Structure 1
Amino acid sequence: MTALANGILRDVTLRDGLQLTGKVLPTERKVEIVRELLALGVPELEIGSMARPDLVPPMANTLELVAALTPEELERCWVWVATPRHVEKAAAAGVRNFQYCFSVSDSHNRANIGRTTEESLAAMPAAVEFARAAGGRIQLCLATTFTCPFEGPVDPERVLAIARDPRAEGSADIVLADTLGQAHPGQVTALVSAVVAQGHWGTEAHRIVFHGHDTWGMGVANSLAALGAGASVLDGSLGGLGGCPFAPGASGNTSSEDLLFATRPEWFTPAALAALVPISERLLAELGEPNRSRTAEGSRSEAAAFEWVIRRQP
């Protein structure tokens, strides 16, 4: 067992994966996917968003999905929020894990959320209080931590300043998102290491989550670099589905299958891969989306001597 196996996957298919497709997946189908992934062994899921349904239609039935899940299932599920009101409304519906997200760059935050970065940060203490009142957990999620589609490179000091800001206290975790997938492993190592060096993040109680995109082919490499520097959770989506509708040039999350094949957590066996790939393939076919997972592609090869190849039925 390698050190990399200590990292865990959070599958974000039902939020970040779906939001760029423009298609609303029926609630019962989302419930089926949640239960298939949890039963398979995926530790955590991001299942939806409180974003306005007129702006992000695939998220319109998030609260219906929450209502259909059990409290035990919801303990392993996260919902994207951007305002204290989002947290309050989601908590009333049964959500207990909240991902409070805003962008490090003002231009993207205005495009994505409709306010400045400072305004989002200033509202976070109220969001933390709503989460605590519900007995839940809240994450500080920072988009555009490396580059912004409107402003270009992001100064790492802006990220570090937010990470140590007292108004972010109360967050269980910090999520560092390479929204455009333009970072390279050296940048990821440097930023995650700098966040760890501040002395608060990177512990079991205050995890670092790395959310990478594979737009420039660096998704898995950047994720492994993040793990090596102190992150413990990696975000991925089935077949590399997804991207940000408010970030031109952002397409494709890092594939969950590829992250699992690279890190090999104990539960992820050849049999688990053989069960996961059809789940992914069916969903992508329903959505009319391509499968960007190299692991899924490899699993369908003719290399019969390799245990990870899915055996064809006679």
Structure 2
Amino acid sequence: MNDVLVRDVTLRDGLQLVSTLLPTADKVDLVRFLLSCGLPTLEIGAVVRRVPTMADTVDVVAALDSSELDRCWVLVPNVTGARLAVEAGVRQIQYVLSVSPSHNKANVGCDVEQSLDGLAAAVVLGSKHGVRVQLALATAFTCPFEGATPEDAVLAVVSDARTAGVDSVVLCDTIGQAVPADVTSLTAAVCAVADEVWFHGHDTWGLGVANTFAAIDAGAVAVDASLGGLGGCPFAPGASGNTALEDVVYALRPSWLSQDGFRQLVARGRDLVVQLGEPSRSRAAEGAARSPGTHPWALG
């Protein structure tokens, strides 16, 4: 468990629904803080038109050096976004499409077939420029418009010839309705046909950490989380925050995390949600603040 890759997504998914814009300089500082804490990889923004909090993503990329960019991902919704990201110097792009046709139309403005065509072009572009391309499957478990997503529909997308060449596949519990049995089943099925599977969970129904562990047990090699449980999809009614980074790392105890590093993450998450005027959804952060000093992971 403690060798699983943990990716922080605070600066992308975590900021999608907030009403307060985080200044670019603060975003760059947060990237460097998280990397200094030992986070192996981060998602730092998105090249999209309809989410104001992502408007300065290219500026964030420009402020980072090559060693930092090697550990960062940027989300794109189409080949145009992929091209802009590559031109900006991004080394790793996450191409998102929704398995659910209704959500794909709401989220990226086209049908699933068009998204798959764009993915194929993005893979060619990435190969030409030495950029890794990851496929993120939104609504892999449930859709706010269509209900449960059939497992066969997910497998059909993953097995489509246009996904050939992607670096990895991310299964996204976009609105946080999955239960561990769902996650185990789908993750295992996709692991059987994909080279590398990641899991992106939300904690809407309080099962974010449980689902994260279920994905790992079923073969996922990496998981997403955000500080304070910030996040949600602006085009998915009912979606709430991501699984909290503090909760995930407290449960997993990755080899790079010290007790002091955990306390730094808790403190930074607490400051960030205050700055943004958002509530913290991290139970581990709450526990760290309330537990007596006899517990080595408490704030003291």
User: The TM-score by the shorter chain falls in which range?
Assistant: over 0.9
| Pairs aligned (count) | 300
Map 1:5-24 → 2, pairs under 5 A: 5-24=2-21
Aligned residue identity for 1:62? T
- Shift in Å, 1:302: 3.8
2:173 is the counterpart of 1:184: no
**Cα shift readout 1:269-311 (whole Å, capped 9, x = no counterpart):** 2111111111111111110001110110111124221100112
CA distance in 2, matches of 1:6, 1:152: 34
Instruction: Return 33-42 or 273-282, whichever deviates more.
Output: 273-282
2:207 is the counterpart of 1:210: no
2:164 is the counterpart of 1:175: no
Q: Which residue does 1:292 correspond to in 2?
A: 281
**Cα shift readout 1:58-103 (whole Å, capped 9, x = no counterpart):** 0010000000000110000000001111111111111010000010
Checking the alignment, whether the CA contact within 8 Å between 2:7 and 2:223 is kept in structure 1 is: yes
Q: Which residue does 1:245 correspond to in 2?
A: 234
RMSD of aligned Cα (Å): 0.8
Checking the alignment, whether the CA contact within 8 Å between 2:97 and 2:115 is kept in structure 1 is: yes
Q: Which residue does 1:96 correspond to in 2?
A: 91
Q: Which residue does 2:296 correspond to in 1?
A: 307
Checking the alignment, whether the CA contact within 8 Å between 2:19 and 2:276 is kept in structure 1 is: no
CA distance in 2, matches of 1:146, 1:33: 31
Checking the alignment, whether the CA contact within 8 Å between 1:23 and 1:57 is kept in structure 2 is: no
CA distance in 1, matches of 2:26, 2:197: 30
Equivalent in 103, 124, 133 of residue 138 of structure 1 = 133
Instruction: Return 212-221 or 116-125, whichever deviates more.
Output: 116-125
**Cα shift readout 1:137-160 (whole Å, capped 9, x = no counterpart):** 000110000110001111010001
Q: Which residue does 1:160 correspond to in 2?
A: 155
CA distance in 1, matches of 2:260, 2:174: 32
CA distance in 1, matches of 2:146, 2:205: 18
Q: Which residue does 1:275 correspond to in 2?
A: 264
Checking the alignment, whether the CA contact within 8 Å between 1:22 and 1:57 is kept in structure 2 is: no
- Shift in Å, 1:23: 2.5
CA distance in 2, matches of 1:193, 1:99: 21
CA distance in 2, matches of 1:302, 1:38: 27
CA distance in 1, matches of 2:208, 2:61: 29
Map 1:190-201 → 2, pairs under 5 A: 190-198=185-193, 201=194
CA distance in 2, matches of 1:38, 1:240: 18
2:115 is the counterpart of 1:126: no
CA distance in 2, matches of 1:67, 1:122: 29
Q: Which residue does 1:31 correspond to in 2?
A: 28
Checking the alignment, whether the CA contact within 8 Å between 1:124 and 1:168 is kept in structure 2 is: yes
CA distance in 2, matches of 1:104, 1:154: 8
Aligned residue identity for 2:175? L
2:213 is the counterpart of 1:224: yes
For structure 2, which runs of at least 5 residues remain unmatched after alignment?
none
Q: Which residue does 2:101 correspond to in 1?
A: 106
CA distance in 2, matches of 1:302, 1:169: 49
TM-score by length of 2: 0.98
Q: Which residue does 1:77 correspond to in 2?
A: 72
TM-score by length of 1: 0.94
Checking the alignment, whether the CA contact within 8 Å between 1:146 and 1:154 is kept in structure 2 is: yes
1:300 aligned counterpart, secondary structure = helix
CA distance in 1, matches of 2:247, 2:91: 29
Aligned residue identity for 1:27? T
Q: Which residue does 1:259 correspond to in 2?
A: 248
CA distance in 1, matches of 2:286, 2:219: 30
Aligned residue identity for 2:203? D
CA distance in 2, matches of 1:153, 1:125: 27
Checking the alignment, whether the CA contact within 8 Å between 2:48 and 2:76 is kept in structure 1 is: yes
